[in-house]
A and B are shown apart, each in its own frame.
Chain A
Amino acid sequence: MLSFLCYLPLAGALIILFFNREWHKPIRLFAFLVSLSAFVVSLFLIPPFRLDYSGMQWVEKHPWIEAIGVSYFLGVDGVSLPLVLLTTFLSAIAVLSSFTAIKERQKEYYVSLLFLETGMLGVFMALDLFLFYIFWEVMLVPMYFLIGVWGHERRLYAAIKFFLYTLFGSVLMLLGILALYFLSANPAYGTGGGTFDFLQLTHLSLPIQIQLWLFTAFFFAFAIKVPMFPFHTWLPDAHVEAPTAGSVLLAGVLLKMGTYGFMRFGLLLFPEASRKAAPLMVTLAIIGIIYGAFVAMAQTDMKKLIAYSSVSHLGFVMLGIFSLTPQGLSGALLQMINHGISTGALFLIVGMLYERRHTHLISEFGGLSHRMPVFATFFAITMFSSIGLPGLNGFIGEFLILLGAFRARFLYAALAVSGIVLGAAYMLWLYQRTMFGECDNPKNRSIPDCGMREICYMIPLVLLMFWIGLYPKPFLHISEATLQHVHQLVQTTLLSSMVR
């Protein structure tokens, strides 16, 4: 089932390869059909999913390279299932949003997009570290092309910067993975047989010194992806230059891989090191929250502003994870989903403006609310969701994270709150400058409002914002058992290390 879901987009991409280049419309529609059916398939994962079980479900395991203990091992739990759903959901929207935005080399574009979807799904499903690494790297290639081929003016620079930064982190993780393999083969720490199996590796009992080294190796891969301050500099470039769908997936899904990595691998493989590193991680997260917000405020380019707001929001997620409290963890996971939805929606909104005016500069706009009332409504809801207005999704996530941070340390929460205030400031200011006031730029006089297709992909996003905001229980429930388990695991090693 998981394999089917994972390779469905890839199969679609391979079929598109056989389409004639000039069949623009069939290619588009087929790509949308594929991504939509992937979303529908992913929905079927939910009903049989056992909410009270904290382990892996839908498991698929086959030997792959037996000589070195690599297996083809897929599975989802309460942490990865929501992210899988988010991926299929945003991918379908990303495809739909590209129909008019992408005019050149459409065939290759949709092939890359679907290929990317397979890579992203694989990252969230893989439970063998070798397999995980393969998906983690494979996904870079289509993203590199999405930015580099269909991006804006400085796309070449942004594409290679993205690729180099992420590769730098991943190769260090590769060393960490290899070291873990040989440690698991060492009878002093593990069972004796070398393995890349994530579940078996969680049973290793590694001394803290080794854990810290390995945590550092994984840290680079994940921190660059999140991106945590000070590894964030690739993000604004990549976001500004990427086409709209690329930005949506970059912000919505790719960044989550970093936080997911910390949650799944960082905490569970190296619980003691995570606890040791928590103060540092929280410090970096808080710097990210405040720094990101301040820099966002200073931007004149809308996409850059949203990119920096991502740095700030992902800081919240990291704060939640490394508060190491149950509330913080579940808030972090929910906020990952929220950020995917709201920031994805923000990029779509900016993308709509770009399609109409071919600019991202805030100063080019003003008074648009009179010309485009529907658009203004979507923008307003999304903005409030991003700020964390009660009743919308952002509020629940941030509230839980702050609760968790507060329980960890008062100071954390106090500092992080300032990020929310600043967030409200730059988002409201952005809205004010683009939507209100006089429509004095003549180019904006005849700007058309949202079309049917645009309304179609905005509506589900807005509905989700309200749903999570008003009734978050199902979303929290799905991950509850798993997160409790994660939290317990981190805490029990605390006890055992005290006893030692």
Chain B
Amino acid sequence: MIRFLPELLLIGTGLFLLILDPFLPASRKSLLGKIALLGLVGGFLATLSLWGKESLLFGGLLALDGYALFFKEIFLSVTILTLLVSFRYLSLEKIPQGEYFALLLFATVGMMVMAAGTNLLSIYLGLEVMAISSYALVGLIRKDLRSLEGALKYFLLGAFNSGIILYGIALLYGATGSTDLSEIFIFFSRVPPSKMMLVGVALLVAGFGFKISAFPFHMWVPDAYEGSPTPIAGYLSVASKAASFAALLRVFLVALIPLQPEWRNLVILLSILTMTFGNLLAFAQESVKRMLAYSSIAHAGYLLIGLAVGNVLGVSAILFYFVAYALMNLGAFSMIVLLTRQGTRAESLEDFKGLANRHPVWGFCFLLFLLSLTGIPPSAGFVGKFYLLAGAIQTGLYGLALVAVLNSVVALAYYSRIARNMYMMEERRRPEISPSWALRFSLILLAILTLGFGLFPAPLFELVQEASQSIL
């Protein structure tokens, strides 16, 4: 049981929050956030202590390998940062705190199960826990129609998508007689694939494609992100995508690797379409939140390069990129949180005009995140992209690499619009912003790490290599 302690800690904290919430007077609600934070930090430390103790849990349903632990640490760190960013935001937007924190914890547990799942069913279980919690999180700004619209859209498409994944699992089960990933692998290495299996694989690609927001399954992303509380948009764009990638990689590179010739070209195609489409549409956005939503689609496209590469280098690159992506994307969404004031939404490009002039430190932080998102050194984003491209070049995917780098030029065109507004435009009004200390701390931390991993990526390199070797 001790090996499941991190998850149990989160579940316990979440349940405790739900029980405690009704008994707290409105003025003491901030206590809830602190308890949630405590639970998360506990979970983080507990996960850390499990490092190096490889084993299987629950009769082989979950694996406790370096890969799963690495992802779990990413989820927990992202959740902690999301929490820190949310504190003042929740009271500004009048979001019920008890539900918010509890749902956040439950969603994180779902992700942790997904990353550790070695059986299609346990992965599906984690995925549903995560998905249902996120539907509710997106719709938590109850007065706001956009929030409700986003949540409804996300829920309807998500429920439909769950059906698709389940159907894919059923077909694979029917074909191979097992839902265990290693048994599916053994089956496929002996038996050539039939039509039914390929349909199953295709359904899984579509289902996970939806979760990682790959083209053409990305339709929910802009609306859901725009409607949801801003910290949640950041959380979904990073943690939910990372969890889906964690499961996707494990399914495709452990169980379905014998079918690689079958699905590889499909992944390359998805990657190219996703990054190009995401970038081109991001260019047309006036709302920074929507722009970041489309940019997160484009980043899913970059990440798919790692899956197309499909070896240790590719998986390590994805793991590295997720660290970088978590830093820069959370940073970017936190910048929108920074501008949020009582009763107004400040998320259009206009709102960033002259920001760097008034608040040089925050302006510079955002600049750093934007450079990192574009992939300009010295930043974690550059090293991550470099790593992904290295994988593509090594395996001879020159065309894919070329499309990817040309996409970063397109990406510069829209990210620079934010930088331009911050540095080169005159402000029109002078909104006061007074970020909470937690938000200041997170922004500075994110900026330092973005720069730090850009300059000294060596320790992280070793870590991701170790983690990816544990599944391949």
Contact = CB atoms under 8 A, between A and B. Distances in A.
B401 A175 contact: yes
B412 A164 contact: yes
Interface stretch (A141-149, A303-311, A416-424): A141-149
Contacts of A206: none
Main secondary structure of the interface of B (DSSP, over half): helix
B424 interface: yes
A174 B389 contact: yes
Contact of B390 (A105, A148, A155, A178): A178
A65 B458 contact: yes
Main secondary structure of the interface of A (DSSP, over half): helix
A68 interface: yes
B412 A167 contact: yes
A151 B320 CA distance: 38
Contacts of A156: 420, 424
Interface in A137-169: 137-138, 140-141, 144-145, 148-149, 155-156, 159-160, 163-164, 167-168
A182 to B, nearest CB: 5
Contacts of B398: 175
A181 B390 contact: yes
A194 B216 CA distance: 38
Given A64-B458, A141-B376, A181-B390, A155 B424 contact: yes
B423 to A, nearest CB: 6
A205 to B, nearest CB: 20
A202 B420 CA distance: 41
B393 A67 contact: no
B42 interface: no
A175 B405 contact: yes
A134 B423 CA distance: 23
A167 B408 contact: yes
A140 B376 contact: yes
B383 to A, nearest CB: 9
B207 to A, nearest CB: 33
Contact of B458 (A66, A108, A163, A171): A66
Nearest to B377: A134
B461 A68 contact: yes
A84 B7 CA distance: 57
Contact of B408 (A68, A159, A171): A171
A68 B420 CA distance: 35
B461 A67 contact: yes
B465 to A, nearest CB: 7
Contact of B413 (A134, A148, A160, A181): A160
B465 A67 contact: yes
B293 interface: no
Interface string A440-465: 00000000000000000000000000
A430 B402 CA distance: 44
**Can you list the 10 inter-chain pairs with the closest CB atoms, starting with the nearest?**
A171-B405, A134-B377, A178-B393, A65-B458, A67-B461, A148-B424, A168-B409, A137-B377, A137-B376, A167-B409
Interface of A: 64-68, 105, 108, 133-134, 137-138, 140-141, 144-145, 148-149, 155-156, 159-160, 163-164, 167-168, 171-172, 174-175, 178-179, 181-182
Interface of B: 357, 360, 371, 376-378, 382, 386, 389-390, 393-394, 398, 401-402, 405-406, 408-409, 412-413, 416, 420, 423-424, 457-458, 461-462, 465
26 contacts: A64-B458, A65-B458, A67-B461, A68-B461, A134-B377, A134-B382, A137-B376, A138-B376, A138-B377, A141-B371, A148-B420, A149-B423, A155-B424, A159-B424, A164-B409, A171-B405, A171-B409, A172-B405, A174-B389, A174-B405, A175-B393, A175-B405, A178-B386, A178-B390, A182-B390, A182-B394
